[in-house]
Amino acid sequence: MSTRSVAVVTLGCTRNEVDSEELAGRLAAEGWTLVDDASEADVAVVNTCGFVEQAKKDSIDALLEASDLKRSGRTQKVVAVGCLAERYGEQLAAELPEADAVLGFDSYADMSTHLRGILAGERPASHAPRDRRRLLPLAPAARHTAAVTVALPGHQQGAPEPGVALADVAPASGPRVVRARLDGRPWAPLKIASGCDRRCAFCAIPMFRGAFVSRRPEEILAEATWLGERGVREVFLVSENTTSYGKDLGDLRLVDRLLPELVAVPGVDRVRVSYLQPAEVRPDLLDAMASTPGVAPYFDISFQHASGPLLRRMRRFGDRTAFLDLLDQVRSRVPEAGIRTNVIVGFPGETEEDLAELTAFLEEARLDVVGVFGYSDEDGTEAEGYEGKLDPAVVAERVAEVTALVEELTAQRAEERIGSVVEVLVEGTDDDLDGPRLLGRAGQQGPDVDGVTYLEDEDGGMPSCRVGEIVRARVVATEGVDLVAVPLTGAADRVQL
């Protein structure tokens, strides 16, 4: 078997990162050489995002950039996978002939065979999209029996026996884990479920990700152990809806019991929970997150808006009063909690009164991070057919207004943390005009988009902390939403490697 090389390029969210690392593990197990640079690979596999308009454009740009390498680099073929490929399939292939293949989720289990055929000159039929919500039974409890016939990326289905001796594709014991780390970060996402049963009027994700399916706890723990053995200090639990975890396994409190087991995994010192639906947050879940040592004081709650009538139009629940009460419940348990959310501005029918309700909520909520998105139609969603669409210029104006407010409020929230002690996972250095700076993330800061913490010694220099350490530090200043902190010097203030 000739050795071929492949680069997996990832767009979009941390859930996609898990899928990419599983794909990379499958390919490595089949004898492919993984490379970081697409220009040095025989095949570039681009794991696309299909969530919102900008993400789609970014994915198409990445495919075009990879295709350019066929003229200037080693790259022979470019293959589109991921959410954009799953969602649009044949349409994407017709509009983007630069891609040599467009493959959906059903191709992941046999990706090696597909890629070898493509290198040999074959052009497989492009993926034909379908509504993946209809592939599993309506009743959650009946899904696990049927799920073996439906592709669930990131769920380690049908893990292949390795064709080569690779330590990175076989754990010492327990369920097999086929995954290859594509970066050296001391944190990693870990998928606990896929799909969503909610029917938010603006969201297309359930159509191309399918119905909600939880992974079994033993599989999650096996993968966490695998990650801990490879230097991962923080495990970031990801899904489309973590508050639904366990409902298809007959126990909605399953995640409460899973958290202590995850923080007990050797090598893993911190577990972070993401994507909580406010209508599904249980007091028991808050208690478990608050009382389990090692669970990050971080609450990622998807509010989307704060006007009750507009939320109903979105097919969601809640209002400003209910959301503020939920935040009080969080802070009564975890006073130092970091809380983030996303909001949609300019949804069809949004009035000035609705917008005022949202801004009033944001001013009262004291959130650490708020992602602000302007509404745009998504193919196949209920809201696409709504009347009352706002002029794009009005949407842009409202986005600018809310964004400016959020930037001011989140900077103020960061300033409130001056003087507090935080636990920072050291991640690396960042080049600054005045030289490199050591940075990491406090427990209150999620990966990639929630700000960072710069670590300095008392003289403003770079402290001698190693990547992967979790360091207790006192916040002394802020830079927007970013924190500046000085490590405490006591022996108890570091978790040693």
Residue positions counted in the chain:
497
Please indicate if the annotation marks 200 as binding a ligand: yes
Q: Distance of CA 395 to CAs 52, 200, 392, 400, Å?
A: 15, 20, 5, 9
Please indicate if the annotation marks 49 as binding a ligand: yes
Please indicate if the annotation marks 196 as binding a ligand: yes
Please indicate if the annotation marks 13 as binding a ligand: yes
Residues making up the binding site for [4Fe-4S] cluster: 13, 49, 83, 196, 200, 203
**Binding-site sequence positions:** 13, 49, 83, 196, 200, 203
